[in-house]
A and B are shown apart, each in its own frame.
Chain A
Amino acid sequence: MSDVPLSPLRLTIFAIVVGVIAIASAAYLYVVRVETPPASASPTRLVNDGQRQALLPIRQQAHVAFREMAPGPGYGRLAFRSLEDSANRVTTELTCNRVHFTATVGLCLTIARDPAGFRGYLIDDRLEVTRAIELPGVPSRTRISRDSRFAAYTVFVAGDSYLATGLSTRTRIVDAHSGSMLGDLESFAVTRDGTVIRAADFNFWGVTFTRDANRFYATLGTAGRILLVEGDVAARALRVIAEDIECPALSPDETHIAFKKRFGSGLDAWWQPAVFNLATKDVRLLPEPKHIDDQIEWLDDGHILYAVGHSVSAALRRADVWSLAIDGASPPSLFIRDAESPAVVRP
C-alpha cells in the first residue's frame, strides 16, 4: 500500500508532455487574442465624439439599429445605418449580442465582463447607458414597445429544467426607463379556452408589443408544443390564442404576426418565415429557402427583416440581414450585409 517513488524517466517524460501542451495552448490563445478585437470593457462611453457627430443625421431620420458582424475591430458591436443610404453606417463602442431600439430608448443584451455576467444595458436618446440590468441567463431576444414605455427580454437559463442538463427560457418585461421589473411571464396566469393551465415545463419567449404596450404577444412552449399567447402586463395574464406560431412579431399596422414556422421534428427540424393574419387566421408561408432562427422585425407593413447566419464555425459567426415581402410573390433580398439583430426606428 505504500508508494514506490516514480522513476525520473517517467517524471521527465511527463514534464516534457505537459510543457508541450502548455506552450501549444498558450500559443493558440495568443494568436486568437491578437486576431480578435476585445469586447468593450465597460459601457461608460458608448460613442466617441466623432461617432456622435456622424450619428446625429442618421438618428434624425428613419434608420436601423443592428449588431455589426463585419470581421474587424467593430465586430459584435452596436451599429446604426440610415434606412435609405446603405453607405451611411456607424459602429459604436458597445458590444451587444442582441439589440432593439426605438427613437428614445434602446436595450442591448450582452455577455459582459468587469464584472463578468450576462447584462442588459438600457440606452437613452442621447446614446448614454442609463441602467444595467443583470440577466438571469444567456441573451436571446429583446423588444421595446413602440411607445418606448416597456422593454422585454428573453434569456436561456441552463439547468432550470427537471433534467439537470435541460434548458429553459425566462422572459421578463421591464420599465424601459427605470429598468424595474414589471413582470416575469412565468408568474402570469395562463388560460386556454377559459381554463387555467399550468405546468413546470412552461417556457416563454419572444415578446412583441402592441401599440399600447400593455398588450403583447409571446410564445409559450410546453410538452413539446408551441402556443401563441396574448398577454396583458397590468392584469398579469396570458391567453392562448393559436398553436404552432413561434417567436411572433406584430406588424406596425397590427394586422399580421410574422413568425418562424417549424418543419420536421427532432434534430432535423428547420424554420421558415411565415405570416399569420390576425383577422382571417390564415397562415402564409414565405419563400425563404435559407434556415432562419431569429425573431422577425418589420421593415414596414409589407416587408419583414431577419438575420441569416453563414460561415458559422467555432471560431467565426457571420450573418446578413435579409428583407422579404409578405405577399410571398418575390424572393428575399439582401438588406444589410454583415449584420444581425436589426431594429427599424422611425422617429
Chain B
Amino acid sequence: MYPFDVAALRGFLAARARATARPVIVRTVWLLGLVSCFTDISSEMISSILPVYLFVHLQLSPVQFGLIDGLYQGVTAVARLASGIVADRWRRYKLVATIGYALSAVCKLGLLATGSGWSVFAAVLSADRLGKGIRTAPRDALISLTTRPQDLASAFGVHRAMDTVGVLVGPLLAYWILASMPGRFDAIFVISFAAALIGIAVLVLLVDDRRSADGAHTTRVSLDLPGLLRHRRFVSIAGVAALTSFVVVSDAFLYLLLQWRRGGGAETIPLLYAGTAAAYLVLAAPLGRLADRVGRARVFLLGQVLMVAIYAGIAWVGIDLWTLVLVLFLHGAYYAATDGVIAALVSGITRSEVRASGLAALTTATSLARLAGSVVVGVVWSWRGPETVVTVALVATVAALIVSAMTLKETGPDALDADSV
C-alpha cells in the first residue's frame, strides 16, 4: 500500500508547493518543534524558580552562584563542537540529539537529590548544560536535512516558534506549583522531569532518523570541520553571526538599560523576558518565510537594523510604557530575523555530510562571542556607566551592519543548493 500512497502524496505536495509557493514544513520539523517545546517547558520550569530554590529554600549563598557560570560556558562550547562532529561522522543525528535530551532529563531528577550541597548542585547544572550543548547541533542538522533547501528559514522559524511556547509556559507552570504547594520543590522537579520525558518520547518514538529517510549513505566523510573552517563562505557567514552576537548586548543588559532609562525598578524583568519571547513566538515563522522568499541575508540584515533602531531609541527617545512595548516587539523581531535565519543560511551553504559540524561551529562561535560581548559591556558599564554602553552599542551595531552587508553581499545570493560547499 505505502509506495502508492507515498508517490501520490509526494506528487500532491510538490504540485501544491509549486502552485502556492508555500513552504513545506515536514513532519520531522513539527515533531522536533514539539520536542523542543516540551524540553523548554522542562528547563524553563527549573530556571525560573532556581533562585527561589537556591536562596530561599536551600538558603545557599549567592556569592557561590557566579562560580558555576564560568564552568558551564567552557563545557558547552566543547560539547557542542564534539557532538556536531560525532553526529556527522556516524550520521546518527537522532541518536546524538537523544543523548543530549536524555542527559538533561536525568538532571531534573538529579535536582531532587541535591540537598544542601553546592558541589552536587554544580555537577547537576553543568550536566544539564552539557546536555543542551550536545543536542542543539544534531537537532538543527536534522531539521535542515529533512527540509527542502528553499524552505530552510521557514522550517527553522516554525521550530523556534514552537520552542518559544515552552519558554513562555514553563515559568507559569512552575510558579503555579510553587504558589499552590509552598516549599514542595520536589513537585516542580518531578513535573519538569515528566515534561522532558514526553519530549524524549516524541523524539524517540515519532521522529524518523535521517538515515532511514535518506537511504543508506555509508560513504566516508572526507570533508570535516577543518575543511569547513577553510571554506570562505562558511567562515564569512559564521563570522558575521559571531560579530552580531558580540555587538548586540545580552538580554539582561538590554533590560537593565531600559530600566535605567525608565528610572523605574526591576519589578518587570520577568515581564520583559516574556515580552521579547511573545514577539519572537509570533514573528519567528513569518520572518523565516520572508527570509526564504526575499533572501536570508536580507532578513538577517533587517534584524541588525532593528537592533540599531532599539539602541537609537534608548539613546534619543524617552522610554515610556508604549515605547517599552515597541522595543520588546522589535527585540523579539530581531531574534526572529536572525536566530533561525542564520541557521538556515549556514545550512544552505554546507554539504549535508558536514551539516551538524557546521551548525555546531556556528553556535559555538556565536555563544563565545556573546559571552565576550557581555564581559566587554560589563567593563564599559563599570568604567563609564550606561550612557556610554548605549553609545558604544549603537556605534558597534551600525559598524557591524555595514561589515555584515558588505560580507554577505560578497558571498553572493543565498545558495539554494544544499550540497554547495
Which A residues contact B (CB, under 8 angstroms)?
A: 1-6, 10-11, 13-14, 17-18, 21-22, 24-25, 28-29, 32-33, 35-36, 38-39, 75-76, 95, 97, 111-113, 116, 134-140, 156-170, 172, 181, 184, 198-201, 203, 221, 224, 226, 262, 266-269, 271, 291, 293-294, 309, 312-317
Contact = CB atoms under 8 A, between A and B. Distances in A.
Interface string B238-262: 0000000000001111011000000
A158 B114 CA distance: 20
Tell me if A's interface is mostly helix, strand, loop or mixed. Answer: mixed
B378 A134 contact: no
Given A29-B191, A312-B115, A36 B146 contact: no
B61 A293 contact: yes
A315 B115 CA distance: 10
B133 to A, nearest CB: 14
A309 to B, nearest CB: 6
A310 B208 CA distance: 49
B266 A136 contact: yes
Interface in B6-62: 6, 9-10, 13-14, 24, 26-28, 47, 50-53, 55-62
Most buried by B among A17, A165, A266: A165
Interface in B187-217: 187, 189-191, 194, 197-198, 201-202, 205-206, 208
Given A13-B205, A200-B382, A201-B378, A2 B266 contact: no
Contacts of B13: 1-2
A313 B117 CA distance: 10
B6 A2 contact: yes
A134 B184 CA distance: 23
B302 interface: no
B143 to A, nearest CB: 13
7 contacts: A14-B205, A24-B194, A76-B183, A136-B269, A158-B269, A181-B265, A198-B385
Contacts of A291: 116
Given A32-B187, A316-B183, A156 B251 contact: no
B182 A2 contact: no
B57 A139 contact: no
A5 B5 contact: yes
- What are the nearest 9 A-B pairs in CB distance? A113-B179, A162-B378, A200-B381, A136-B266, A315-B186, A25-B194, A267-B118, A199-B382, A3-B27
Contact of A3 (B26, B251, B378): B26
B363 interface: no
B183 A166 contact: no
B56 A97 contact: yes
A269 B63 CA distance: 9
B406 interface: no
B187 A309 contact: no
B375 interface: yes
B179 to A, nearest CB: 4
B180 A315 contact: no
B265 A136 contact: yes
A113 B205 CA distance: 38
B4 interface: no
Given A97-B56, A139-B56, A162-B375, A3 B181 contact: no
Contact of A160 (B28, B65, B177, B252): B252
A200 B260 CA distance: 12
A167 B62 contact: yes
A137 B375 contact: no
A10 B187 CA distance: 30
Contact of A269 (B56, B61, B375): B61
Contacts of A184: 265
B66 A156 contact: no
B102 to A, nearest CB: 14
A162 B377 contact: yes
Given A267-B122, A314-B112, 9 more contacts: A3-B27, A32-B184, A36-B181, A36-B184, A39-B179, A39-B182, A158-B51, A159-B273, A314-B185
B39 to A, nearest CB: 14
A301 to B, nearest CB: 27
A102 to B, nearest CB: 24
Given A14-B201, A267-B67, A1 B374 contact: no
Given A39-B182, A167-B51, A312 B58 contact: yes
Contact of A4 (B6, B66, B255): B6
Given A2-B13, A294-B59, A317-B57, A164 B250 contact: yes
A315 B205 contact: no
